[in-house]
Each structure stands twice: as structure tokens, then as C-alpha cells.
Amino acid sequence: MVMFLAAVSRVGLDNTVLRFTGAALPDHNWGDIRTVIQKALFLAGCVGSMVALGLWAASGWLAFSVFDKPQMARVFQLMAPGIIGLSLLTLIAMSLQGLRRVVSSVFIVNICVNLLLICALLVLGINNAEAAAGAYSVATFMTLALGGLLWWRGGGHSTVSTISWNELFKSCMPLWVVMLMAELIQWSGQFIAGAWLDASSVAFLSVAQRTAMLTSFVLIAVNLIVAPRFAALYKQGNKAGVQRLAINSVRLMAVVAFPIIIVMLAFPSFIMGLFGPEFRQAGLLLQILALGQFVNVVTGSVGYLLMMSGHEKDMRNVMLLCGPLAVVLALILTPMYGAVGSAIATAIALASQNLLAVWMVKKRLGFNTLAVWKRA
């Protein structure tokens, strides 16, 4: 819930910040770079504060009426401030990524909060969900402060900015829809399972999904490098360079991901059993979700290709088809087949999203990212 609402709070600014920063860096246009991140932080801070207040106020209703788990009410309240911290630290990390400071970006968005939370659990002896929720919120603000310091220390000299609020909104509004639909595709199966299934089935589904997402770690790693380069190359009018970078990155991702998917498909019960003997029965869930993630990887960075080249509305349209598809499939399949139905719904929606984006890249940019055998 917190991750989903934090994505809502960022108003689609993640990739807007990345796009404008990546495009401005080759010209050392620090005026645009600073203006974009300052306006993004202000807007996301305002929206995030309202969303966090809304979660705090609605915590009882969500816990009792939606999830039928009364003990979640206090956890929601204590994690609500984390929505603000998570939203803002993500934007800082996206700006660092656009500046090609990949290590700093990864540390802020993926590592630091978890590391601080683990330290709190070990050092403070936290042994209940409420205290862990409070520690999580504190960790997001500590990470935000560190991210701001890292960004500030690497900033260049300011120049005149040409980025207006209108230009920013023109980019981020379609991307807001993209972000919301992406979150629906990723998590709607778990949300709906949480309302229909018992806690153990939801746990099996959650662990299987997180494990399957390891298949796409290479996609995440490659995106950190290629996304700002897509923006820079497209701004320079180097479409051949965009195509070459896209095809070569797909080849790399396919080579790395293929052995991982083979292991997950061949030994699902063993892998799931690492989380406890009772998880072995969830091997089928891992196989289904891993196939969806594999399609996500082998289609390449198609979402970033569209968004970094100014085709945000095309990506929005793709997601407007696939987001509701994920919800509808989950509502139909979860009551019929339980956690397996939720997994199937997520895998189909994820694969559909990427295949449609491949078609849109072909239509707008003139090349097919799946045609890896062709010379780029």
C-alpha cells in the first residue's frame, strides 16, 4: 500500500526528472537540472502529504472493511509518513540516475532504506509490526537527507533554466497514468488476493512474486545506464544510436536472464523452500510469475524508449489497456483458482504490457527490440 501510494504521490515525475536531467547533462545545463528537481520535490511533497494524511485517516476503514485484518490499522498510521519520504527520495535517486551517478542512485532508491530498517531491527530489538512500521518511516527520511546531500555535493554551476511548469506537467501527466497502471499490474493481484484469500496464500504469492522479480534485476541494472542515454541520443537526433543501444542491451539482458529463468522453471519447489518448508507448495506460483518477468526482460527497455523519446502518451495508452486488464483478470481468476489465478493474471498483464510497448516502439521509432538477430 505504501509503495503504491508513494507512486501516486510522485505524480509521474520519476521519468520526467530522469528524461529532462539526462537530456540536459551533455550540455551541462545545470539550470534545467536544478529547476526540474526543485519543482518535482515541491509538487511531490505537497501531494504526498495529502496522500499520507488520507492513509492515516482511512487506516481503520482499510484494516477492518477492505482487508479484514484489524491489526493493520496502527501499522498503516505509522507507515503513512513513509509515503512522503519514499516519494521524495525516489525523485532524488532518479535525478542522480539522470546525472549518470548510478551507484549513488541505486544506493538511495534500493538499498539505504532497507539497510537502515535492518539495523533498527537488530540494534533496537524491534519485535512487532507497529515498531517496524515506525522505523521504516524514519528510515525513509534519513535516506532522503542522505540523497539530498549526495545530490548537492555533485551539483554544478547554475545556468538560466528554460523548463516551465507547463512543460513539466505536459510530460509528467501521461507518465502519472503510466506509473499508476504499472503499480496496478504489479500489485493488484496481491491486493485482490488479500481481500479473497487467507494470509498464508497471500504470503506464498508475495514471496513467489518477489522471487520471480529477481529475473528482471538485469533489466533494472541496464535501465539505470541506458535510460538517460536514450534521452540524450534522441535529443541529439541520433536515432541510429538509439536503436543500436536498445538492441545491444536486449542481447545482454537475454543472455543474463535466460539461465535464471531456467533454474526457476526447473527447480521452483527447491527455490521456494529456501523461505521455509511450507513454501515448497508455491513452486507453481514461481513458475508462472517467472515467465511473465522473462517476457519483461527479453522485450528490453521499451517503456524507457518511449518515455525518453517524448512518446509518453503512447506509453500511457499501452498502460491504460493493461492496468485494467490486470485488475479484471485478478477479479475473475482469484476467486476461481486462488493464488494461482492471481499469479496468472499478473503474468498475462505484465507480458501484454511489454509486447504492446514493443509494437509501439516499432511504430514510433522504426525498429523491433525483439529482432536481436539483426545487426543494429
pLDDT band, very low/low/confident/very high, at 51 (cuts 50, 70, 90): very high
Tell me which of 136 and 175 has the higher pLDDT: 136
One-letter amino acid at 186 equals Q
Provide the angle, in degrees to the nearest 10, between the axes of the packed helices 283-298 and 339-365. Answer: 0
Note the pLDDT tens digit of each residue in 237-275. 888 888 888 888 888 888 888 898 999 999 999 999 998
pLDDT tier at 21, thresholds 50, 70, 90: confident
Q: Which one, of 289, 292, 284, 291, lies nearest residue 267 by Cα?
A: 284
| Per-residue pLDDT, 157 | 61
Cα–Cα separations (whole angstroms), residue 8 to 182, 236, 294, 343, 367:
11, 32, 26, 24, 32
Tell me: the pLDDT tens digits for 152-167? 886 656 666 677 788 8
Pair 330, 346: CB distance under 8 Å: yes
Question: Which residue has cell 514510433?
Answer: 364
pLDDT of residue 189: 86
**Residue 219: per-residue pLDDT:** 76
> 3-state SS string over 221-238?
HHHHHHHHHHHHHHHCCC
Return the C-alpha cell found at 363. Answer: 511504430
Mean pLDDT of 86-112: 90
Q: What is the pTM of this model?
A: 0.72
Given a contact cutoff of 8 angstroms between Cβ atoms, the answer to whether 222 and 252 are in contact is yes
pLDDT band of 112, cuts 50, 70, 90: very high
Per-residue pLDDT at 328 = 94
- State the pLDDT at residue 238: 84
Flag whether pLDDT at 361 surpasses 80. Answer: yes
Specify the pLDDT at position 161: 66
| pLDDT attached to residue 249 | 85
What confidence category does residue 375 fall into, taking pLDDT thresholds of 50, 70 and 90?
A: low
* Residue 127 φ/ψ, nearest 5 degrees: -135, 20
Q: What are 110-114's contacts with CB under 8 Å, separation 24+? A: 112/139, 112/142, 112/143, 112/146, 112/147, 113/86, 113/89, 113/139, 113/140, 113/143
**pLDDT value at position 359?**
92
Instruction: Report, as an integer, the average pLDDT of 169-174.
Output: 80
Amino acid at 82: G
Confidence category of residue 89, pLDDT binned at 50, 70, 90: very high
Confidence check: pLDDT of 376 > 60: no
**Residue 303 predicted with pLDDT over 90:** no
Q: What is the mean pLDDT of residues 7-26?
A: 84
Contact 269, 316 (CB under 8 A): no
Across all residues in the chain, what is the average pLDDT?
86
pLDDT in tens, 184-243: 888 888 888 887 888 888 889 999 998 998 887 777 777 777 877 887 788 788 888 888
The pLDDT of residue 173: 82
pLDDT at residue 265, as a whole number: 92
Interior/surface letters 47-82, b for 16+ CB within 10 angstroms, e for the rest = bbeebbeebbebbeeebeeebeeeebbbbbbbbbbb
* C-alpha cell, 11: 505524480
pLDDT band of residue 7 (cuts 50, 70, 90) is confident
Share of the chain above pLDDT 70, in %: 97
Judged on CB neighbours under 10 Å (0-12, 13-18, 19+), 324 is: middle
**DSSP structure class, residue 281:** G
Q: How far is CA 282 from CA 49, 207, 265, 324, in A?
A: 38, 9, 12, 26
Distance set, CA 230 to CA 12, 103, 304, 367, 371 (Å): 18, 19, 8, 14, 19
